[in-house]
Each structure stands twice: as C-alpha cells, then as structure tokens.
Structure 1
Amino acid sequence: MFLYKIDDDVSLKLPELKDAERVFELTDHSREYLRQWLPWLDETTSVEDTKGFIQSCLKSYAENKGLTTFILYKGSIVGTAGYNQINWTNKTAYIGYWLGKEYQGYGIMTKAAKALTDYAFKELKLNRVDIRAAEGNSKSRAIPERLGFVCEGRIRQAEWLYDRYADHIVYGMLADEWTSK
C-alpha cells in the first residue's frame, strides 16, 4: 500500500476499490466545474465506471507505468494527483491532477504536485517532470508556475473537450533544477 504523508492535513494514497463510491460522489458533485477542462466526465456516470478507473490505475501501478493517487485532506478523499505516465527510457514523469470544487484555494494541489515532483526525483531517480494544462485553465497552470517549473511552450489543439479543441501549455522541471532550489 502506497501512502505518502505530505503534512498533518494532506496525504497521497494508492486507490482502492473501496474508495469508488467516495470518488464517484466527488466527481459527480464537481461534474460541471470539472467538465470545463477534463474530457472524461461524460464516460463517468456510475460507481462502476469509477471502479474501472481504479482498476486501470492499479494495473498501471503494478506494471510500473504510472502512479495515480487519491489526495486525502483531513482524512477525506478530495481529488487525484499522480503520474499519468512514467517514461522510464527518457526518465520522465507526466503529472496530472484534479480537485473537487469545494477544496480549491487551500494549497492542497500545490502540496500534492510538489510532493510528486520531489518523489519523482528523489525516490524514482527520474530526470524530468512535465505538467501540461489547457491554456485557459489558469488554476491548473498556477500550480507548476508556483513551483518554479519552466513554461516550455504550447501544443496546439492537444485535447478535444466535448465541443472544442484546447491548446496545452507545457511546463517542465529537471532534476538538477529541482535539487538546486
């Protein structure tokens, strides 16, 4: 079982099937808010869909291809953060995240992204961490900016969001930059 304590209020834990109901409830409650920037909400309509998501996360973790965690805030699951993909050949992790609407503004995601970046470099010995966010998603983009990631460019029409394409802004951090901070 993976459990990474960040501070007294925030931890990251490996998903478990028993978490499906809470995660679906959180998703459903924040659906309209999250839908603006996440393309998978129309396919997540039941607890069973969330169980399928958890199973795919656990498979990716077992195969050493990714690490999705649930964010605990004061003991309750409030979102997800993790490595959507780990490219071992190039020693790169790609961080993705979302947080329930009512948990915004407490610094939770900044703490989670910082912990994942630190873990990638110190524990996994990776060389690079990427965070990509839709150009208009200022809250998501603020996370890597706050952590000192370098804005490296734009990927045009990188993601289809229901009725439009969104450009992604790419942020990168290298291991030697992180350790010299």
Structure 2
Amino acid sequence: MFYFKLNEDAELRLLELRHAENLFHLTDRSRNYLREWLPWVDVIKEKSNSKEFIEGTMKQFSNNNGFQAGIWYKGELAGVIGLHGINWANKSTSLGYWLGEEFQGKGLMTNACKSVIEYCFNELNLKRIEIRAATENHKSQAIPEKLGFQKEGCIRSSEFLYNRYVDHYVYGLINEDFNRVTL
C-alpha cells in the first residue's frame, strides 16, 4: 500500500473507487481554475468519469507502472499527484500534480512532491524524474525550482489547451543531485 504522512494535517494515499465522488466534486468546484492549465478538465462531466480515472490508476499501480495518489488535507481530498508511467529500462519517470483551488498556498504540493521524489529515488531506485510545466504557469514551475530540479529546456507548442498551444519548460532531477541537496 502506498501511504505517506506529509505532516499533522496532510497525507498521500492511493486513490480508491470509494473516492470517486470526492474527486469529482473537487474537480467540479475547481473547474475554471484547473481548466487554465489542465487539458482533461472538460472530460470530467460526472462522477462516473472520476470513477473511470481511478480504475485506470488502480490498473497503473497493479502493473507496476507508477501510481496516482490523493493528497488529503485535514481529512478532505485536496488534489492528486502521480507518475505518468515509469520507463524501467531507463529508470525514469515524470511527475504530475494538481490541487483544488481552495487548497493552494498551504505548502501541500511542495511536501507531496518531495515525498514522491524520495519514494522514486529511494524505494523504486529510479535515476531521473522530470516535471513539465507550461511556461506561463508560474505556480507549477515554483515546485521543481524549490526542490532542486534543473530547468533543462523549453518544448515549443508542447500541449494544446482548449483553444491554444502552450510551450512547456522541462525540469529534470537525477538521484545524485537530490541526495546531495537533501543531505
């Protein structure tokens, strides 16, 4: 089982089917906020869409291809963090995350990312973790910058978001650099 206590008020737990309603309501409450940077928001129209997402994440975990965990704050689902699959041949992965609008500014995502990074390097023995963030998404960029990632470049027109293409910065962290920073 995947579980991390982040602090007295927050923890990471794998998403389960029983969380589908909570996940849908969190997404729905933050729909306009999330839509600015996440291309999948309009696909989540009802609770069954969140259930399908969770079913896929459970399969991902059982196939040893990463995970998606709920970020829980004071017992309430606040967001999601997870791996976009694991490239076992190269021992690398990429990390994705989002928080509901009302949970911003509490340090939740920085702590969640740090825990997932430690898990990837120390438990999964991965070599590299990548984070991509839209060049205009300064809040998302702040996370890898705080955690010692290197900005490695820009991918132009990387993602289509509803009515426009956005460029992405690519941030990379290798295990030796993380262990040096955290020691």
TM range (shorter): over 0.9
1:87-126 equivalences in 2 (<5 Å) = 87-126=87-126
SS of the counterpart of 2:143?
Answer: helix
- Worse-matched range after superposition: 65-74 or 26-35: 65-74
**Counterpart in 2 of 1:4?**
4
The separation in 2 between residues aligned to 1:173 and 1:96, in whole angstroms, is 14
TM-score, normalised with respect to structure 1: 0.98
SS of the counterpart of 1:167?
Answer: strand
Structure 1 segments (4+ residues) deviating >4 Å: none
The separation in 1 between residues aligned to 2:7 and 2:89, in whole angstroms, is 32
SS of the counterpart of 2:65?
Answer: coil
SS of the counterpart of 2:95?
Answer: strand
Deviation at 1:85, TM superposition (A): 1.6
Deviation at 1:81, TM superposition (A): 0.4
**Counterpart in 2 of 1:177?**
177
Among the aligned pairs, what percent are the same residue?
49
**Counterpart in 2 of 1:32?**
32
The separation in 2 between residues aligned to 1:56 and 1:126, in whole angstroms, is 23
**Counterpart in 1 of 2:75?**
75
SS of the counterpart of 1:180?
Answer: helix
Unaligned runs of 5+ in 2: none
Deviation per CA, 1:98-146: give whole Å up to 9, x if none: 0000100010000001111111100100000111111110000100001
**Counterpart in 2 of 1:45?**
45
1:11-26 equivalences in 2 (<5 Å) = 11-26=11-26
Deviation at 1:7, TM superposition (A): 1.8
SS of the counterpart of 1:120?
Answer: helix
SS of the counterpart of 2:131?
Answer: strand
**Counterpart in 2 of 1:134?**
134
**Counterpart in 2 of 1:55?**
55
Deviation at 1:6, TM superposition (A): 1.9
The separation in 1 between residues aligned to 2:175 and 2:148, in whole angstroms, is 12
The separation in 2 between residues aligned to 1:120 and 1:6, in whole angstroms, is 16
TM-score, normalised with respect to structure 2: 0.97
Deviation at 1:173, TM superposition (A): 0.5
Deviation per CA, 1:73-94: give whole Å up to 9, x if none: 1221100001122111110121
Unaligned runs of 5+ in 1: none
The separation in 1 between residues aligned to 2:171 and 2:144, in whole angstroms, is 7
Deviation at 1:5, TM superposition (A): 1.4
The separation in 1 between residues aligned to 2:126 and 2:66, in whole angstroms, is 13
How large is the Cα RMSD of the aligned pairs?
0.8
Deviation at 1:66, TM superposition (A): 1.7
SS of the counterpart of 1:24?
Answer: helix
